[in-house]
A and B are shown apart, each in its own frame.
Chain A
Amino acid sequence: MLLAVLFANSEGNILVERFNGVPAEERLHWRSFLVKLGAENLKGAKNEELLVACHKSVYIVYTVLGDVSIYVVGKDEYDELALSEVIFVITSAVKDVCGKPPTERVFLDKYGKICLCLDEIVWKGYLENTDKERIKRLIRLKPPVDF
């Protein structure tokens, strides 16, 4: 299960937070844990350089893209390898929508589109689409080209 996808700005404020199968009372804990993890480790990291951690039986892969840091959390079949696949899809989709590694402003300007991308990538905790070209079409309700 893909437990969480979280976007934060450089100050650690949440931009997008989507949890799956995480009880409401634990979400705050996860949010602060992830933001702290990012604050400690993402400084100086290059765009899209992946960092990885595990906490109990849960895996976390995170990265920075422009002004935005992105975290994905998973367990069981969504181990670090599957998560790196997920975060790769997410970063390429976001770059595609924003045209470059986004500033916070650009990210928020494209907020609706990014939400749609996430909706195509993650279906309540499961990876659904992995190809950015296809996602780009799907969010405009266009069928994929390779079909």
Chain B
Amino acid sequence: MAQPFMKKDDDDEEADYSPFLGIEKGAVLQEARVFNDPQLDPRRCSQVITKLLYLLNQGETFTKTEATEVFFAVTKLFQSRDIGLRRMVYLMIKEISPSADEVIIVTSSLMKDMNSKTDMYRANAIRVLCRITDGTLLTQIERYLKQAIVDKNPVVASAALVSGIHLLQTNPEIVKRWSNEVQEAVQSRAALVQFHALAVLHQIRQNDRLAVSKLVTSLTRGSVRSPLAQCLLIRYTSQVIHESAGNSQTGERPFFDYLESCLRHKAEMVILEAARAITELNGVTSRELTPAITVLQLFLSSSKPVLRFAAVRTLNKVAMTHPMAVTNCNIDMESLISDQNRSIATLAITTLLKTGNESSVDRLMKQITNFMSDIADEFKIVVVEAIRSLCLKFPLKYRSLMNFLSNILREEGGFEYKKAIIDSIVILIRDIPEAKESGLLHLCEFIEDCEFTYLSTQILHFLGIEGPKTSDPSKYIRYIYNRVHLENATVRASAVSTLAKFGAMVESLKPRIFVLLRRCLFDSDDEVRDRATLYLNTLGCDDSEVETSASTNEFLFGSLEVPLANLETSLKNYEPSDESFDINSVPKEIKSQPLAEKKAPGKKPTAGLAAPPSGPATTVDAYERLLSSIAEFSSFGKLFKSSAPVELTEAGTEYAVNVVKHIFDSHVLFQYNCTNTIPEVLLENVAVIVDSSDAEEFSEVASKPLRSLPYDSPGQTFVAFEKPDGVPAVGKFSNMLKFIVKEVDLPTGEAEEDGVEDEYQLEDLEVVAADYMLKVGVSNFRNAWESMGADFERVDEYGLGSRESLTEAMNAVIDLLGMQPCEGTEVVPSNSRSHSCLLSGVYIGNVKVLVRLSFGIDGQRDVAMKLAVRSEDESVSDAIHEIVASG
């Protein structure tokens, strides 16, 4: 007896061996031949199917021939009456998903099963047919599917309904015809059928607001059985609330009572869903939030991790808009910092960072320091980003937060994590002038021992821009020059450029920098040597007393006049020939520009900054260079402002045109960015004909048509107007695109010689007062306001009439003035009846303007506003009032 026992022990490892050990696709396909046996062995066939499933589930794929072979063999198994095998066959057919021309082989068998007396055959046949079928077959079986939806067996009904969800994507018009049956199924007593039917019905009607609203109204009154269906209903309800928000006059929110009652549901899933829906309501009030926050707080100490996660994730979102509402939960959240589940801990930390006040920062940082050591990089990145926003919120706390960042920078971590820390330090340096010197030194220390070439070069570039402007630039030289000795060629070359920047910008350092640069002439890498030679020669090493000229600086350190991505594409397309590459042929249009601008709101340079943002040139710089390179417009003087692109065509039209308004002192220039989206045509002599009869103060002075506009290669055409000098003239312009169309022979890409003149109506364009205002923030509004003085202060009161909310009224005024909201005052706390907002900007003529807006709203939603303006020029203060009065 002992022996076999011993043996088992010995073979313990063997016992764990997989029954699929050494499984091989070819062999299994051979085995599948048993499906063709005249005498089927169901057990053996099931085993082979299991092996095939195992292969497929491991990510193995069958070639077309293999799949066809298996499929044909499997269809033979319909002959067997073995129930277990039949169930496997259904699954196998779904897994192989035969091609359209093969499906026909099984349709008759499946149709037979679909009409079978055995319910389970019906349910499975429906699922398989719907999975493999195409539209034509679907119309044939539609009748059976409709019957199945209202079948008294819930499994059959569910099978048909879930099939409906999938078919909606491929054949929506057919499924939409099942509306009545689905409606009936929604009333089913079987919980799952109701859940599936509700999902289908909503998808069928999702574009019909009224129908969705009716559906929600009837169901919220009735009884929904399964918690899953209840969750769906809550989602649909909040969608209805969201869409009807604008219509409610009384201030009562429709369906709110329903949502609130769901907070007392017995299923946790429903409670959380309802709480989440309430917190996401538009303009939710504190009264509405309170019950939701209370249940979420209870879930924070739940024993189930998923509930804790769901609660803290919701609270994290609430903290972004209503930080005060969440502060009650802070104690519970602090205990979550030690949660086993690091996702929960990270969410708790980031929520606390959002809701914490200035006094709790230090305590919080202490807790986080312990926490950081045992979480993964991706969580650390989230924390670093939260700390960055916290620091921007409480600039006075920069010292402890910067220390924290520099400490974690020294610890182990991957590239993304280090990059997030570096990015944060760079942003803090830019936005908090006091943090600059310590931040730069942290960066210097980091590059002394940095394994990432990319980060080293980025930091060196940044040092080159910021370092020379500090009180003692010389202290950074040592760190930079060390790179020339210790690093790879890429970093060495970067260090040479940075040294040269110090030399060019700090006269006193120049001779010493030259000594260092000369040493680089003997580097082993040609790029490093080339750079050193270039800088030594252009910066004037022969006569170190000569001040570096502006043009040399521009040549060496200015950025290219074309977007790098465009240059790269042009270079790739360039075929070596006698004609050398011409940089002027590179398109200057920045394709992804509107997107890039949307991505970085609120990262605008602030007036408190000593330096403009570095790195990629700002859009204004890019425009300025572009415009000054065009002779017709070079006499317009300094560019004051360029607007964000305004779309003049709808998305998806044959020609896409947007316009950028460039404002100069006595000119306004429209830059029309045109894209031809039709491969078969080439446009030539493209110009925009502008009718300025509704803009009296403007007169057209120049235009620059575009010679040719090939497919998908954006180009620009310009129209310039003169206006009275320094006057913020406004007006409306209508635009017509005119061009010659030539057909293109696609294979050769050659255009026909003769073209046809054509035109294309564009949307109208307006120049408004806000176009004459630059959004420039100040870091300390109060100081700026006091130092501006009350000499040119103008105060007046305005009635803004009935408004939807304070936020809406305030945003209208902000948009009208085009100024930068400061210190987060653009957020109106929920439910408040009055609010003050601080704005700052620079008006045309480079006049600084500060504005204090105070709003009050009464029971009838009438909004009153007090506007106080201070500026450096009396007439500008008046002009601001005029803008508001006439807006």
Q: Given A40-B376, A108-B18, A130-B192, answer yes or no on A141-B121 (Cβ-Cβ < 8 Å).
A: yes
Whether the Cβ atoms of B306 and A141 lie closer than 8 Å is: no
Question: CB of B165 within 8 A of chain A?
Answer: yes
Question: Which B155-196 residues have C-beta < 8 A from chain A?
Answer: 155, 158-159, 162-163, 165-166, 190, 192, 196
Q: Given A81-B306, A108-B20, answer yes or no on A139-B87 (Cβ-Cβ < 8 Å).
A: yes
Whether the Cβ atoms of A81 and B121 lie closer than 8 Å is: no
Residues of B within 8 A of A16 (CB): 57
Neighbour of B59 across the interface among A17, A108, A129, CB < 8 A: A17
Q: Given A123-B127, A147-B153, answer yes or no on A81-B310 (Cβ-Cβ < 8 Å).
A: yes
Question: Which A94-147 residues have C-beta < 8 A from chain B?
Answer: 103-105, 108-109, 111-112, 115-116, 119, 123-124, 126-130, 134, 138-144, 147
Question: CB of B58 within 8 A of chain A?
Answer: yes
Residues of B within 8 A of A82 (CB): 228, 231, 269
Whether the Cβ atoms of B162 and A123 lie closer than 8 Å is: yes
Whether the Cβ atoms of A14 and B343 lie closer than 8 Å is: no
B113-147: contact bitstring with A at CB < 8 Å (1 yes, 0 no)? Answer: 00000111100100100010000000000000000
Closest B residue to A142 using CB positions: B120
A29-66: contact bitstring with B at CB < 8 Å (1 yes, 0 no)? Answer: 00100000000110000000111111100000100000
What is the bound-complex CA distance between A111 and B46, given in angstroms? Answer: 11
Question: What are 5 A-to-B residue pairs whose CB atoms are below 8 Å?
Answer: A17-B59, A51-B341, A52-B309, A55-B378, A80-B309
Beyond A17-B59, A82-B269, A85-B269, 14 additional pairs, beta carbon < 8 A: A14-B57, A18-B57, A41-B341, A49-B305, A80-B310, A103-B16, A105-B16, A111-B53, A112-B49, A130-B192, A141-B83, A141-B87, A141-B121, A142-B120
What is the bound-complex CA distance between A130 and B166, given in angstroms? Answer: 19
Question: CB of A84 within 8 A of chain B?
Answer: yes
What is the bound-complex CA distance between A115 and B20, given in angstroms? Answer: 15
Residues of A within 8 A of B269 (CB): 81-82, 85
Give the distance to chain B from A127, nearest Cβ to Cβ, in Å: 7
What is the bound-complex CA distance between A111 and B269, given in angstroms? Answer: 31
Question: CB of B344 within 8 A of chain A?
Answer: yes
Give the distance to chain A from B651, nearest Cβ to Cβ, in Å: 23
Q: Given A53-B343, A108-B18, answer yes or no on A128-B231 (Cβ-Cβ < 8 Å).
A: no
Decide if the interface of chain B is mainly helix, strand, loop or mixed: helix
What is the bound-complex CA distance between A84 and B269, given in angstroms? Answer: 10
Neighbour of A112 across the interface among B18, B53, B118, CB < 8 A: B53
Whether the Cβ atoms of A54 and B343 lie closer than 8 Å is: yes
Q: Interface residue tally of chain B, by bracket?
A: 35 or more
Neighbour of B272 across the interface among A40, A61, A81, CB < 8 A: A81
Whether the Cβ atoms of A140 and B57 lie closer than 8 Å is: no
Q: Given A123-B127, A124-B166, answer yes or no on A115-B192 (Cβ-Cβ < 8 Å).
A: no
Whether the Cβ atoms of A112 and B88 lie closer than 8 Å is: yes
Whether the Cβ atoms of B18 and A104 lie closer than 8 Å is: yes
Whether the Cβ atoms of B158 and A128 lie closer than 8 Å is: yes
A1-42: contact bitstring with B at CB < 8 Å (1 yes, 0 no)? Answer: 000000000000011111000000001000100000000110
Q: Given A79-B310, A119-B94, A123-B162, answer yes or no on A14-B131 (Cβ-Cβ < 8 Å).
A: no
Give the distance to chain B from A10, nearest Cβ to Cβ, in Å: 10
Residues of A within 8 A of B20 (CB): 108, 111
Question: CB of B5 within 8 A of chain A?
Answer: no
Closest A residue to B18 using CB positions: A108
Whether the Cβ atoms of B343 and A115 lie closer than 8 Å is: no
B1-35: contact bitstring with A at CB < 8 Å (1 yes, 0 no)? Answer: 00000000000000111111000000000000000
Q: Interface residue tally of chain A, by bracket?
A: 35 or more
B34-56: contact bitstring with A at CB < 8 Å (1 yes, 0 no)? Answer: 00000000000011011001100
Whether the Cβ atoms of A115 and B306 lie closer than 8 Å is: no
Residues of B within 8 A of A124 (CB): 131, 166
Whether the Cβ atoms of B17 and A105 lie closer than 8 Å is: yes
Closest A residue to B127 using CB positions: A123
Q: State the 5 A-B residue pairs at the shortest beta-carbon distance, nearest first.
A: A112-B50, A141-B120, A84-B306, A52-B309, A53-B343
Residues of B within 8 A of A129 (CB): 155, 158, 192
What is the bound-complex CA distance between A93 and B304, given in angstroms? Answer: 20
Q: Given A14-B59, A105-B18, answer yes or no on A50-B306 (Cβ-Cβ < 8 Å).
A: yes
Question: CB of B154 within 8 A of chain A?
Answer: yes
Q: Given A52-B343, A54-B343, A127-B228, answer yes or no on A138-B120 (Cβ-Cβ < 8 Å).
A: yes
Residues of A within 8 A of B91 (CB): 115-116, 119
What is the bound-complex CA distance between A115 and B190, given in angstroms? Answer: 25
Question: CB of B397 within 8 A of chain A?
Answer: no
Question: CB of B313 within 8 A of chain A?
Answer: yes
Question: CB of B86 within 8 A of chain A?
Answer: yes
Residues of A within 8 A of B253 (CB): none
Whether the Cβ atoms of B16 and A104 lie closer than 8 Å is: yes
What is the bound-complex CA distance between A129 and B455, given in angstroms? Answer: 51
Closest B residue to A51 using CB positions: B341
What is the bound-complex CA distance between A26 and B875, given in angstroms? Answer: 61
Question: CB of B771 within 8 A of chain A?
Answer: no
Whether the Cβ atoms of A141 and B19 lie closer than 8 Å is: no
Question: CB of B431 within 8 A of chain A?
Answer: no
Neighbour of B58 across the interface among A14, A104, A112, A130, CB < 8 A: A14
Residues of B within 8 A of A83 (CB): 306
Which residue, of A49, A141, A144, has the highest number of chain B Cβ atoms within 10 A? Answer: A141
Residues of A within 8 A of B306 (CB): 50, 52, 61, 80-81, 83-84
What is the bound-complex CA distance between A143 and B49, given in angstroms? Answer: 23
Give the distance to chain A from B675, nearest Cβ to Cβ, in Å: 28
What is the bound-complex CA distance between A111 and B54, given in angstroms? Answer: 8
Whether the Cβ atoms of A52 and B155 lie closer than 8 Å is: no
Give the distance to chain B from A85, nearest Cβ to Cβ, in Å: 7
Neighbour of A50 across the interface among B57, B124, B158, B304, CB < 8 A: B304
What is the bound-complex CA distance between A41 and B339, given in angstroms? Answer: 12
Residues of B within 8 A of A50 (CB): 304-306
Whether the Cβ atoms of A27 and B59 lie closer than 8 Å is: yes
Give the distance to chain B from A19, nearest Cβ to Cβ, in Å: 9
Residues of A within 8 A of B19 (CB): 105, 108-109, 111
Give the distance to chain B from A120, nearest Cβ to Cβ, in Å: 9
Whether the Cβ atoms of B124 and A126 lie closer than 8 Å is: no
Which residue, of A15, A52, A54, A126, has the highest number of chain B Cβ atoms within 10 A? Answer: A52
Residues of B within 8 A of A41 (CB): 341-342
Residues of A within 8 A of B684 (CB): none
Whether the Cβ atoms of B120 and A52 lie closer than 8 Å is: no
What is the bound-complex CA distance between A124 and B91, given in angstroms? Answer: 12
What is the bound-complex CA distance between A9 and B124, given in angstroms? Answer: 30
Give the distance to chain B from A79, nearest Cβ to Cβ, in Å: 7
Q: Given A109-B19, A129-B158, answer yes or no on A115-B231 (Cβ-Cβ < 8 Å).
A: no
Residues of A within 8 A of B273 (CB): 81
Question: Which B260-312 residues have C-beta < 8 A from chain A?
Answer: 268-269, 272-273, 304-307, 309-310
Residues of A within 8 A of B228 (CB): 82, 85, 127, 130
Residues of A within 8 A of B165 (CB): 126
Give the distance to chain B from A141, nearest Cβ to Cβ, in Å: 4
Residues of A within 8 A of B738 (CB): none
Question: CB of B591 within 8 A of chain A?
Answer: no
Question: CB of B861 within 8 A of chain A?
Answer: no
Question: CB of B84 within 8 A of chain A?
Answer: yes
What is the bound-complex CA distance between A16 and B378, given in angstroms? Answer: 27
Whether the Cβ atoms of A17 and B58 lie closer than 8 Å is: yes
Whether the Cβ atoms of B155 and A144 lie closer than 8 Å is: yes
B735-749: contact bitstring with A at CB < 8 Å (1 yes, 0 no)? Answer: 000000000000000
What is the bound-complex CA distance between A116 and B344, given in angstroms? Answer: 34
Give the distance to chain A from B104, nearest Cβ to Cβ, in Å: 22
What is the bound-complex CA distance between A51 and B343, given in angstroms? Answer: 9
Whether the Cβ atoms of A147 and B86 lie closer than 8 Å is: no
Give the distance to chain A from B396, nearest Cβ to Cβ, in Å: 33
What is the bound-complex CA distance between A123 and B190, given in angstroms? Answer: 19
Closest A residue to B90 using CB positions: A119
Question: CB of B235 within 8 A of chain A?
Answer: yes
Neighbour of A52 across the interface among B94, B268, B272, B344, CB < 8 A: B344
Closest A residue to B190 using CB positions: A147
Residues of A within 8 A of B192 (CB): 128-130
